[in-house]
């Protein structure tokens, strides 16, 4: 039976911005929890009176929760990108979004294509670079903001010093070197992905290697072990010829996205030098997010959320997600074992979906053998997650939390001080309560998924994408 349609409230605009509010606490948070949780995601779903097309199109809204001796303080604010300012001042779409074309004259669209003008609407996640906090997406630009007020403070060119058009929103942190690793992307006669390292203080990047493809495969994130970077190359991507024609016809990324004549490829690179170690193939599948990767006995183990096809992208139209019977892309938690001496990948399903937004104790176990991952899990009839699941990747046993009529967001792990066990910590998630027309910050014990704190917001937030926790027990970042 289909669920009720309360999930639609998570796909609706919220125009109210809260400067700084002390949240009422309905149940206490752990005494040790100190720091700042900053999330990112959609805020406004219409421009100029018309609905945007795809879930990745809406104008970005930051949301911030600060934990101190008196409880929790909350703010939310739109990111004042050029795309946002254009939409508010002119009622139009400045640059082509993934599913919504720019409503600009044809000569302007041609100029944008020739000069490589990309959207700067940073709706995907958050990154800290030196002393600056950035809202990011798959773009050349990171939009800097004040973590106290969420005020937009400037723009950072994330491609400076690199030969690429844009960078990915999911970066990895090298704890030993105090540096970030990420991929730069260029589209043209050939598509290139550049693995690069950048000092965590925001210094100049160092390119390590370039991967070249005749087709234009899509990569959203990658895995990192102690020794290797694992680039998961999807057998789905762009028809670049159609994309160029779309400059004239008003086509978009979404219109040109589809299957490529290729398998899934795991390209394993030395993370220090960029040297190619091996490429391992597997049957076609689509991946957004990696849970973790590590080395074991002559192989690399990669755990990720795997979808069967490109519906994971093309199916995320707002029309579909808001419908009474949405056709949801179904992702499973899957383990691939990649032999370093070549050959095909071995695949095993660890947990049947639909699941997404995998989270681990990234600070201590990222790139190393681990046991637990936490995910948002979606029940029948909903387009948004209806529960949180903890999966033991050794035993493949699962523990769930659900609350009828509510929709939890990405579960962000925060380790406890002096944690001994891997699941010694809490999960933070923003829960949508449509019946109350509000969202609620909820804290869960990571070991048991029992509730360990709840604070209602003064309004309803649209469903978000990714966030980071910055605090004494998770310095730098809390997730890839």
| Domain spans in the chain, listed from the N-terminal domain onward | 6-470
**pLDDT given for residue 1 in this prediction:** 33
Per residue in 151-209, pLDDT (tens digit) is: 999 999 999 999 999 999 999 998 778 899 999 999 877 899 999 999 988 889 999 99
pLDDT for the residue numbered 116: 64
pLDDT in tens, 310-321: 999 999 999 999
Residues 6+ apart with CB under 8 A from 431: 403, 406, 407, 408, 409, 439, 440, 441, 442
Q: What is the mean pLDDT of the chain?
A: 92
**What one-character-per-residue DSSP string does 138-176 give?**
SBSEEEEE-TTT--EEEEEETTTTSSSSEE-S--EEETT
6-470 carries CATH number 2.130.10.10: yes
Q: CA nearest 34: which of 71, 5, 1, 2?
A: 71
Start-to-end Cα distance in the chain: 36
What pLDDT, in 10s, does the model give residues 81-108? 999 999 999 999 888 888 998 886 665 6
Does this model's pTM top 0.85? My answer is yes
Q: CA torsion 449→451→453→459, rounded to 10°?
A: 100
Q: pLDDT tens digits for 408-419?
A: 999 999 999 988
Give the separation between CA 217 and CA 238, rounded to whole angstroms: 7
pLDDT (0 to 100) of residue 46:
97
| Tokens of residue 124, six digits | 């995907």
Q: Which residues is 364 bridged to in the sheet?
A: none
pLDDT band, residue 342 (cuts 50/70/90): confident
Sign of the torsion formed by the C-alpha atoms of 313, 314, 319 and 323: negative
pLDDT band at 456 (very low <50, low <70, confident <90, very high): very high
Let me know the angle formed at the C-alpha of 364 by 361 and 365, rounded to the nearest 5 degrees.
70
Residues 6+ apart with CB under 8 A from 298: 339, 340, 341
Q: What percentage of residues in the chain have a pLDDT greater than 70? A: 94
pLDDT tens digits for 233-253? Answer: 999 998 877 766 766 667 788
Q: Which two tokens stand for residue 466?
A: 């990714």
Question: What is the mean predicted confidence (pLDDT) over 393-403?
Answer: 97
Instruction: Round to whole Å and give the CA distance between 244 and 255.
Output: 11
Question: 446, 362 in Cβ contact below 8 A?
Answer: no
Residue 281 has pLDDT above 60, yes or no: yes
Quote the longest CA-to-CA distance of the chain: 61
């Amino acid at each position: 039976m289909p669920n009720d349609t309360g999930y639609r409230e998570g796909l609706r605009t919220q125009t109210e911005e809260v400067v700084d509010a002390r949240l009422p606490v309905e149940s206490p948070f752990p005494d040790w929890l100190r720091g700042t949780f900053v999330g990112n995601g959609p805020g406004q779903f219409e421009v100029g009176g018309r609905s945007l097309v795809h879930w990745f199109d809406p104008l970005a809204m930051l949301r911030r929760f600060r934990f101190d001796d008196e409880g929790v303080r909350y703010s939310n604010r739109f990111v004042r990108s050029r795309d946002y300012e254009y939409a508010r001042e002119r009622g139009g779409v400045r640059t082509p979004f993934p599913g919504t074309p720019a409503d600009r004259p044809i000569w302007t669209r041609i100029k944008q294509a020739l000069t490589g003008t990309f959207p700067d609407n940073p709706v995907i996640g958050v990154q800290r670079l030196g002393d600056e906090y950035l809202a990011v997406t798959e773009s050349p630009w990171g939009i800097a903001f004040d973590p106290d007020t969420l005020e937009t403070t400037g723009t950072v060119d994330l491609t400076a010093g690199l030969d690429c058009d844009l960078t990915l929103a999911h970066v990895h942190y090298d704890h030993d070197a105090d540096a970030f690793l990420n991929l730069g992307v260029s589209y043209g006669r050939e598509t290139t992905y550049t693995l690069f390292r950048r000092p965590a203080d925001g210094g100049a990047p160092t390119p390590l290697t370039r991967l070249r493809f005749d087709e234009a495969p899509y990569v959203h994130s990658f895995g990192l072990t102690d020794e290797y970077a694992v680039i998961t190359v999807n057998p789905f991507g762009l028809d670049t010829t159609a994309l160029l024609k779309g400059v004239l016809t008003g086509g978009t990324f979404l219109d040109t996205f589809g299957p490529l004549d290729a398998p899934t490829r795991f390209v394993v690179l030395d993370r220090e030098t960029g040297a190619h170690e091996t490429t391992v193939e597997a049957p076609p599948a689509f991946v957004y997010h990696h849970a973790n990767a590590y080395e074991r006995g002559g192989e690399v183990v990669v755990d990720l959320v795997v979808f069967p096809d490109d519906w994971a992208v093309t199916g995320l139209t707002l029309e579909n997600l808001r419908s009474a019977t949405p056709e949801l892309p179904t992702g499973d938690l899957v383990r691939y074992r990649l032999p370093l001496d070549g050959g095909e990948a071995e695949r095993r399903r660890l947990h049947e979906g639909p699941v997404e937004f995998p989270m681990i104790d990234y600070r201590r176990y990222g790139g190393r053998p681990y046991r637990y991952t936490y995910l948002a899990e979606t029940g029948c009839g909903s387009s948004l997650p209806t529960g949180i699941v903890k999966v033991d990747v050794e035993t493949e046993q699962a523990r769930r939390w659900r609350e009828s009529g509510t929709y939890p967001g990405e579960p962000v792990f925060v380790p406890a001080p002096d944690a001994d066990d891997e699941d010694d910590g809490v999960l933070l998630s923003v829960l949508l309560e449509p019946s109350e027309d509000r969202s609620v910050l909820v804290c869960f014990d990571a070991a048991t998924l029992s509730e360990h704190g709840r604070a209602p917001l003064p309004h309803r937030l649209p469903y978000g994408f990714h966030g980071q926790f910055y605090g004494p027990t998770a310095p730098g970042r809390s997730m890839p």
